[in-house]
Structure 1
């Protein structure tokens, strides 16, 4: 029986291994590393079944850090003097509240940094169990002892790259959805066991504070479901609709790579803190229009996997075993991004470009489920603490310590993991600025966002149709030496801003292209949010402040090219403005809840019929912005160097008459 620890559980990752080994994809692990795969699956199953002698690292305890149950994590035990009452900034009770729940640090610049030690925690827990299993297997089969012990030492938590090009055709691999899985036993004989990557069953019953979450067309019965489900019907018995799950995953994969690729198209001369914020979280910033932050992109996967199920709700998401493979993948993207942009960092806030003075500091509603106040966030010190993850010295991890995975760099805090090589990129090795630029192009090209290739693919006849599309000269725009604009070519992006707490649960805005009888999904932005009844006090404060989540949906080149050509054909007086209007008219949007129910719809353009007040979506829950943006594209003579997106222009709002209920 697992016991409550007498002291904190220190999150040090796989320090027991002594050196860093790679996290690899779950498919690669299953196919090419059967020893590791067997240990990983068996260890995941053991911590889920509470067959572990440390209560703090049972799955229920680790998953509960992200939301329910609202109790202090057993690995972060506090002394009595830290449990006093009456708020004061210097009182440890308030700066180290009990229970120490911070719900994933969403809507904050610490989104990426908080989740890094969180994945390290479960990686560490599984590594400890894997070491014991390897020892037992080695005693059973002495001839395999060295292989099992080596596999346990090298085992790191795997990821699943949900944006990889093949996912649009293949969806989730069977290992992530099948109820049973084959693994080796001690003697390398195949054994079929329940698959701990497919679902999790609560041990000891459903916690008392689990509550149902309703949508306009159904309910997620979290108070009744004894295990995790994905895309469950509105039924107290619950089930996973695997067909709908695969449909949603494939549909999402068709465009999410472009959103991800756009993140690696950031210029190199932005304010570092502003750039880091645009990469990281999806909270309010009126200037954040051209990019989908990693937090917003990650929210789409929560919705695609969860549907009317656990992954769609922040309070319950971590009880789906897929959660940690998802966040290992998010961390891999962070590792690639921070490797490509090593100078971009949160610092202590934004610099105002108008007078070069510090004008904006990071703040967070601290004590997510307790006292609420607006505290400044810093990368280090007490205000940089990432609760509830403690280091061996008893202090909490801070954001500065989470940076980088460089090998043999004494300035980098040791984490004992890296990622396998990707497109020739090793995130644990330092590189020149030129190497990093070349890597950025490889990354955004791999994920399907390659503007220069799209421009080159225009036929000669199509280039004539684009001749009225203006681009500011690169020199006039002040671009670095060597950049030249691509004449008469722009990339098109729809910027979206959505109220975080509009519909009492996670929901999405979906953009579609309509031409005749054809209707094609282009992309989406998902809001990953807690319901109004959640006791998350920081969420309540953001709700009352009307917090906004933003994202960007790149329009596919084939659609834009078709519309530009059509707009210009037979119309010698066509202008950039008339073409923009023609593009907008071909677009429509919908707000959709987690069950797939359409909440509201809209047709693009200002020529649509007016909507009466009784049929119009309220301004309090309607998107704050859905607008078309375009940018010019500049490139150098070096085909290995990334392009520069510049000359951004905001055009018309897509839905000036509103959304129809």
Structure 2
């Protein structure tokens, strides 16, 4: 029996760079690309560090990872249910050692390459040798920032697209040309066990499409539905940047990530709420009713995570969790998720899963979270807390990683993982401000709000103004202590609940205004044929995912202007809500963009069709649940400043949430078209 491949991280503390920044460093990029290509080779040693072995942890082939050969298994002999930790409070922390495992493998390979390329001292001087060895030791896995202005302007980084690279080595010679290992992964002569073609067709869908996973010998991004497909990078860029048909995913992603930093400061919450805030933030199956509160409407990190999977994947590997781990972009994407997590846990360092949540008015004892329906190694509703084992990843001591081991990875008092992230920088109140993970943790509420303001400014959600130049008639709800409201402003959003496995694969709910997609809620799942034990049980139980879709402020303003005769100059909030519900249309589409169902109405009722249109009424058990909500926005007042001054640029917090009832009004119903 082989020994475990322990995930310890690399020596020294160095930043993970954005992939476009890493590509500017000629030496490090040469090492990174060649190291990634090296660990992809079928004969690479050690076996657990091979790219394909690591990719198989996330889904197929549903075998024990060779890096943890003696793992316990509660499943029957010959059956392996996978390591699924999605839609769980463990979602972001389980993926942290997962990305670290790939970083460790590439780092080890890069150091060996640097030493081999510089061992000929006759042609490589000592300064050059030291430069390359140092570059290899500093190399960390990069992230792709899908919220950046550069992604909005230019789409997917060119370095992630198919091309051929050739590099200059330390002795001045050239490498052989190699296919870009970031653009896909080739499986070689033997495909992993369990790969199956997936048909995107249901009783509600006329058009069908096929993902030929069994026939494809490599991974694909937005492939055509063919055995020999063509990848549509133009489509990926259009989805990221937007156009005539949609506002662009980058804009929504920026808003979604910015909203994650709109939670209140710890001192503005009660002790019993804090683990439940982690629940709401960490996954799309949060259940705030457990803790006796209604949530904050700030969203979950799992929702933008899902969106990127579908934007990049289409009918390809990234849109199906059974195959996603084999696409190299998966790790650049999850490295960015980990970066966002790092800044969130730095800002909100008192919000944590801990030992569980607390009932308001209860006995003060923590109630552990549970893994719905269990996983491959856990019983149904097994307790989950900061001491749960994050299998199959083992630490240097040989024990399994635990959630508490993953916290603040660059801090000396926790497990040393060898990486950090560049500062987040933004202009606030006319001054450049930054949030650095190397600084002391923000302990006071005011320090938390300062962090919030910088990060919100970075993601473009700090500026909130009066909508439509109106004077809103607000209820006399309480304003949080020490806050001032943003006058005549409300954030409108749709609370969505979808059945995770409704359509035998990943799919999206789209909001449309004037036939343009203005927001989506994306469900990332596996096919009906998956061997994932917890996924199959959740599907049988009809598991739901929940989250929010913001109605963009500019859309709200346009609706107010177009409906001015009905709304007036001093409207009740409910009047605006009714106008929004009458003007926004809704539809469901599959991972390939084909329409599954529309919310249609009788003639005269807004909708994308009419009841006379062909189609089948959507089954009641899989119909989306949608409610329109809204909230006021407030800013923390500095002890030194007033609302008339720069304090108006302190961090946004949403409060006084209101529910405006079911989103679909009139005689609408869900039908296929």
Are the structure 2 counterparts of residues 523 and 358 from structure 1 closer, same or farther at C-alpha, using a change threshold of 3 Å?
farther
Determine which of 155, 165, 187 is the counterpart of 1:171. Answer: 155
Determine which of 651, 668, 673 is the counterpart of 1:642. Answer: 651
Q: Residue 229 of structure 1: SS of its match in structure 2?
A: coil
Query: Residue 85 of structure 1 aligns with which residue?
Result: none
Are the structure 2 counterparts of residues 295 and 96 from structure 1 closer, same or farther at C-alpha, using a change threshold of 3 Å?
farther
* Aligned-partner Cα distance in 2 for 1:567–1:493: 19
Query: Residue 280 of structure 1 aligns with which residue?
Result: 282
Range that drifts further, 368-377 or 161-170: 368-377
Query: Residue 75 of structure 1 aligns with which residue?
Result: 67
Determine which of 306, 312, 320 is the counterpart of 2:327. Answer: 320
Are the structure 2 counterparts of residues 190 and 513 from structure 1 closer, same or farther at C-alpha, using a change threshold of 3 Å?
farther
Deviation sequence 1:23-48 (CA, Å, 0-9, x none): 010100111x2211111110101111
Are the structure 2 counterparts of residues 379 and 315 from structure 1 closer, same or farther at C-alpha, using a change threshold of 3 Å?
same
Q: Residue 117 of structure 1: SS of its match in structure 2?
A: helix
Query: Residue 205 of structure 2 aligns with which residue?
Result: none
**How far did 1:249 drift?**
2.8
Query: Residue 6 of structure 1 aligns with which residue?
Result: 2
Query: Residue 418 of structure 2 aligns with which residue?
Result: 416
Q: Residue 352 of structure 1: SS of its match in structure 2?
A: coil
Is it true that 1:147 corresponds to 2:131 in the alignment?
yes
Are the structure 2 counterparts of residues 272 and 157 from structure 1 closer, same or farther at C-alpha, using a change threshold of 3 Å?
same
Query: Residue 532 of structure 2 aligns with which residue?
Result: 536
Asked whether the 8 Å contact 1:182–1:193 carries over to 2, the reply is yes
Asked whether the 8 Å contact 1:277–1:346 carries over to 2, the reply is yes
Query: Residue 576 of structure 2 aligns with which residue?
Result: 579
Are the structure 2 counterparts of residues 571 and 161 from structure 1 closer, same or farther at C-alpha, using a change threshold of 3 Å?
closer
Which structure 2 segments of 5+ residues have no match? 202-207, 242-247, 289-293, 426-433, 638-642
Query: Residue 226 of structure 2 aligns with which residue?
Result: 235
**How far did 1:293 drift?**
0.9
Are the structure 2 counterparts of residues 617 and 354 from structure 1 closer, same or farther at C-alpha, using a change threshold of 3 Å?
farther
Is it true that 1:25 corresponds to 2:18 in the alignment?
yes
Asked whether the 8 Å contact 2:75–2:81 carries over to 1, the reply is no
Deviation sequence 1:572-608 (CA, Å, 0-9, x none): 5854322211111111111110111110112599945
**How far did 1:540 drift?**
1.9
1:298-377 superposed matches below 5 A: 298-355=305-362, 357-358=364-365, 360-364=367-371, 368-369=375-376, 373-377=380-384
* Aligned-partner Cα distance in 1 for 2:193–2:410: 44
* Aligned-partner Cα distance in 2 for 1:188–1:421: 35
TM-score, normalised relative to structure 2 = 0.87
Which structure 1 segments of 5+ residues have no match? 83-91
TM-score, normalised relative to structure 1 = 0.88
* Aligned-partner Cα distance in 2 for 1:329–1:561: 32
Query: Residue 659 of structure 1 aligns with which residue?
Result: 670
Are the structure 2 counterparts of residues 545 and 340 from structure 1 closer, same or farther at C-alpha, using a change threshold of 3 Å?
same
* Aligned-partner Cα distance in 2 for 1:55–1:546: 38
* Aligned-partner Cα distance in 2 for 1:502–1:292: 22
Asked whether the 8 Å contact 1:284–1:548 carries over to 2, the reply is no
Is it true that 1:428 corresponds to 2:419 in the alignment?
no
Is it true that 1:221 corresponds to 2:212 in the alignment?
yes
* Aligned-partner Cα distance in 2 for 1:388–1:315: 17
Query: Residue 526 of structure 1 aligns with which residue?
Result: 522
Range that drifts further, 58-67 or 161-170: 161-170
Asked whether the 8 Å contact 1:628–1:652 carries over to 2, the reply is yes
Query: What RMSD, in angstroms, separates the aligned Cα atoms of the two structures?
Result: 2.6
Determine which of 454, 470, 491 is the counterpart of 1:442. Answer: 454
**How far did 1:418 drift?**
0.5
* Aligned-partner Cα distance in 2 for 1:289–1:595: 32
Is it true that 1:247 corresponds to 2:238 in the alignment?
yes
Query: Residue 33 of structure 2 aligns with which residue?
Result: 41
**How far did 1:358 drift?**
5.0
Determine which of 98, 102, 105 is the counterpart of 2:85. Answer: 105
Is it true that 1:620 corresponds to 2:621 in the alignment?
yes
* Aligned-partner Cα distance in 1 for 2:301–2:166: 34
* Aligned-partner Cα distance in 2 for 1:218–1:285: 35
Range that drifts further, 96-105 or 133-142: 96-105
* Aligned-partner Cα distance in 2 for 1:603–1:187: 67
Deviation sequence 1:63-100 (CA, Å, 0-9, x none): 0000001111110011xxx7xxxxxxxxx543999877
Moved over 4 A (4+): 95-101, 188-192, 286-289, 354-360, 369-372, 569-574, 603-614
Are the structure 2 counterparts of residues 262 and 238 from structure 1 closer, same or farther at C-alpha, using a change threshold of 3 Å?
same
Query: Residue 589 of structure 2 aligns with which residue?
Result: 592
**How far did 1:497 drift?**
1.2
Range that drifts further, 531-540 or 323-332: 531-540
- Aligned pair count reads 619
Are the structure 2 counterparts of residues 643 and 196 from structure 1 closer, same or farther at C-alpha, using a change threshold of 3 Å?
same
Query: Residue 87 of structure 1 aligns with which residue?
Result: none
* Aligned-partner Cα distance in 2 for 1:604–1:76: 55
Q: Residue 526 of structure 1: SS of its match in structure 2?
A: strand
